[in-house]
A and B are shown apart, each in its own frame.
Chain A
Amino acid sequence: MVLPVVVVIAVLVLYPLAQGVFFTFTNINEANIANPVLDRAATYIGVGFRNYAHVLSGDTSYGAFWSTLVRTLIWTFSCVFFHYVIGLGLALLLNREVRGRSVYRVLLILPWAVPAFISAFTWKYMFNAQYGIINQALRAVGVDNPPVWLGQNDWALVAVIIVNVWLGVPFMMVALLGGLQSIPGDLYEAAEVDGATPWQRFRHITLPGLRSVSSTVVLLGIIWTFNMFAIIYLITGPNPNTRILVTYAFERFFSGASRDYAIASTYGVLILSVLLVFAGVYRRALRKQGEVW
């Protein structure tokens, strides 16, 4: 039953991944990789752990790994926190008998349905320090010097977090709504009969009932947000204030004269390691609460 998935994953995922890991131990780039089509033999050399040493030293010429890691963590946890809280709130509201519920649902799903790069362009325009609607509104209510949202300061990070939260809430909302549907209504009725307050019902019925869905979407949300390259790059371009690990990997990789597979893969492996460590901690915490992975 599982064979086709295993085959596809092995060929299309594990094999390139293995190659990627191999790249990290060499100085491979576009110019020295073997190319049978162009009749060129490989001229790269193995460099052991040198790439890792360079990157982990935190040298600015290799992307200031540690400060970028901190920024990546801030980015990831802020986004996922708001995704979850707002998504859960909206899901709870939509789970009730509200008139026009399906209309609200479709409206709230729009950020997910519109392709991300289009939303990126719109938000970029909305955050335009001079002409954007956000600053125009701020000026109208009397804020004299509204922030330069996408400039060379930390407001840029705030701005992209806002955009990513806007983009990610519908997915959380839908997933949690689906999860809420599977909690039997009888449990609520029974609890109400027993005199439970809404808050108690939430804590003791809703949250536990949602646990398996919640834990999945939060973990996946963290993994995806950690690697979310497109939004940041489309909105702020190469801005050190919004640089996260994966955007640096791409700046280094794609804008180089010879695409540097080695350093880009090194970043990939380091990102993978950080996320693995996190997933391990997460699993341990969940197992304590009785979740079986």
Chain B
Amino acid sequence: MRRTTLVTATAACLTGALVLTACGGGGGSTDTGSDTGEVTFWDTSGPNESPVFTKIAQDCATKGGYKVKTETVAFDAALNNYKTAAQGGQGPDVFRAEVAWVPQLAKNSLVVDLSDTDLAKDTSDFLETPLGSTKFEGKSYGVPQVTDSLALFYNKKLLTAAGVQPPKTWAEVKDVAAKLGGEKSFFLNNDAYYALPFIYGAGGDLVDADSKKIVVNSAANVKALQTAKGLLDAKAASTALDPSNSYNNMQAGFSSGEVAMVVNGPWSVADYLKGAAFTDATNLGIAPVPGDTAGKGSAPVGGHDYVIRQGTKAKASSVKFIQCMSGTDAQVQVAKELGLLPTRKSAYDNADVKAQPVVAAFEPVAKAAHARPWIPEGGQLFDPLKIAYADFLAGKKDAKTALDEVAKAYQDQVVPEYSIG
């Protein structure tokens, strides 16, 4: 059939457009020597925190004599988009990477080795555990930005009315439950990350990276899980058996004053203070997580690090940028305005920071936080555990079976070169 003029024209245009863009576009300059002086910074913090980071970034840029462009990226998609872009030579110059992402980015050569830059020079001011998250195979790949951990939040009024102190052990949680309304006294979040206080408190861990062993199904962990379920069975705590709604239920319950105690991180303070039960901010109590024995509660460390993309055309400027953003002044400002925990010891000595109630309350918690295995597969450890924990709390499996399955999943899919035991 004969093609009509209009359709041929369209075909020509389309093909032409493709050809033209192929000719005109393509990769950027391959001049790796010079620094473009423009730093693109991907910030995953969200619309409440990003304005503060953007402002500090701008100040750093003005002082340092380079340009910075802060782009907000949604947290869920950030890692994947970064990896997709970086493998093609595109993407930001500086990236705010969650601590679990740094080892995998390092392994895939998607971030710059900072060991011979100024950023690796004087790191003594940084807290030890967050600093550990920036190292991979002996080299340094990032600079800590903020850190966090889990603590016990409690409703001071409810506890005083019942005449109890914040519990220091899980057994105490059970004991005080009767006075605090039984099931409503504590909300157990049905998520693997929130099972870690139980696990660490019992002396267990997920994997032992140094000896390459999978220890998630150790006797200590079995005991830990049983402690958690014990709270539910003794009607000393409640949970949500649908894991995807568990966090929201915890927030709704605690903010409204129905639930007396929860375990959560510093990010939740902003939400709590808007809740009906905490219009008076002094009502929000923060204490270290309970443990198996008093004073031995242990919570996982979290946080974010700055990394520089491999293939960046603004390496020198990025180094300067990170130096400024992770400097004491910047950290103090972030702590003051956002209540996020600094990673520098000197920041905690600052009077303004000491006066910030959330940071002050979390300081001992952050300094005692339990390190996580900084292996590239670190982030993958949580999904199998999440499913097993949910099955266990729902009563579908007993602790040993559930954890054995997690161990098998780890060995088959996550860390095949490790051995169980």
The judgment on whether A and B are partners is yes
Could you list which residues of chain A lie within 8 angstroms of chain B, going by C-beta atoms? 1, 3-4, 7-8, 11, 30-31, 33, 35, 37-38, 40, 59-61, 124-125, 127-132, 148-153, 235-240, 251-252, 254-259
Known contacts A128-B249, A129-B245, A149-B242, A4 near B383 by CB under 8 Å = no
User: Measured between alpha carbons, how far is A192 from B391 in the docked complex, in Å?
Assistant: 59
> Chain B's nearest CB lies how many Å from the CB of A17?
18
B123 within 8 A of partner (CB): no
Q: Which residue of A lies closest to B6 (CB)?
A: A1
Known contacts A4-B11, A4-B14, A258-B376, A151 near B241 by CB under 8 Å = yes
Q: Is the CB of B413 within 8 A of A30?
A: no
> Chain B's nearest CB lies how many Å from the CB of A37?
4
Contacts of A254 in B (CB 8 A): 80
> Chain A's nearest CB lies how many Å from the CB of B227?
20
Q: Is the CB of B376 within 8 A of A38?
A: no
Contacts of A148 in B (CB 8 A): 241-242, 394
User: Measured between alpha carbons, how far is A4 from B6 in the docked complex, in Å?
Assistant: 12
Q: Is the CB of B244 within 8 A of A255?
A: no
Task: For the A-B complex with A151-B241, A238-B387 known, give 10 more contacts whose Cβ atoms are closer than 8 Å.
Answer: A1-B3, A4-B10, A61-B413, A130-B249, A151-B242, A152-B394, A238-B386, A255-B379, A255-B383, A257-B108
B409 within 8 A of partner (CB): yes
Q: Which residue of B lies closest to A3 (CB)?
A: B11
List the one stretch of B36-44, B81-89, B145-153, B218-226 in contact with chain A. B81-89
Known contacts A3-B11, A4-B10, A239-B387, A130 near B245 by CB under 8 Å = yes
> Chain B's nearest CB lies how many Å from the CB of A107?
28
B307 within 8 A of partner (CB): no
Contacts of B249 in A (CB 8 A): 128, 130-131
User: Measured between alpha carbons, how far is A30 from B80 in the docked complex, in Å?
Assistant: 11
Contacts of A124 in B (CB 8 A): 244-245
Contacts of A3 in B (CB 8 A): 11, 15
Q: Is the CB of B104 within 8 A of A258?
A: yes
Q: Is the CB of B245 within 8 A of A150?
A: yes
User: Measured between alpha carbons, how far is A238 from B384 in the docked complex, in Å?
Assistant: 9
Contacts of A255 in B (CB 8 A): 379-380, 383
Contacts of B212 in A (CB 8 A): none
Interface size class of B (residues with CB under 8 A): 35 or more
Q: Which residue of B lies closest to A37 (CB)?
A: B89
Q: Is the CB of B380 within 8 A of A256?
A: yes
User: Measured between alpha carbons, how far is A33 from B89 in the docked complex, in Å?
Assistant: 14
Q: Is the CB of A31 within 8 A of B383?
A: no
Residues 363-391 of chain B: 1 if any A CB is under 8 Å from the residue's CB, otherwise 0? 00000000000001111100100110011
Known contacts A38-B310, A237-B244, A259 near B379 by CB under 8 Å = no
Q: Is the CB of B87 within 8 A of A38?
A: yes
User: Measured between alpha carbons, how far is A255 from B378 in the docked complex, in Å?
Assistant: 10
Q: Is the CB of B107 within 8 A of A31?
A: yes
Listed from nearest, the 5 A-B pairs whose CB atoms lie closest are A61-B412, A37-B89, A150-B242, A257-B376, A257-B104
User: Measured between alpha carbons, how far is A236 from B10 in the docked complex, in Å?
Assistant: 45
> Chain A's nearest CB lies how many Å from the CB of B192?
11
Q: Is the CB of B83 within 8 A of A30?
A: yes
> Chain A's nearest CB lies how many Å from the CB of B389?
10
User: Measured between alpha carbons, how far is A97 from B87 in the docked complex, in Å?
Assistant: 58
Contacts of A8 in B (CB 8 A): 14
> Chain B's nearest CB lies how many Å from the CB of A65?
14
Some 12 contacts from A to B, beta carbons below 8 A apart, are A1-B1, A30-B83, A35-B109, A37-B88, A61-B409, A130-B240, A150-B242, A150-B245, A251-B383, A257-B104, A257-B107, A257-B378
Q: Is the CB of B244 within 8 A of A236?
A: yes
Contacts of A149 in B (CB 8 A): 242
Q: Which of A60, A151, A251, A257 contacts B394 (CB 8 A)?
A: A151
Q: Is the CB of A240 within 8 A of B387?
A: yes
User: Measured between alpha carbons, how far is A257 from B378 in the docked complex, in Å?
Assistant: 8
Contacts of A258 in B (CB 8 A): 104, 107-108, 376
User: Measured between alpha carbons, how far is A132 from B412 in the docked complex, in Å?
Assistant: 37
B7 within 8 A of partner (CB): yes
Contacts of A131 in B (CB 8 A): 245, 249, 252
B234 within 8 A of partner (CB): no
User: Measured between alpha carbons, how far is A252 from B413 in the docked complex, in Å?
Assistant: 9
B243 within 8 A of partner (CB): yes
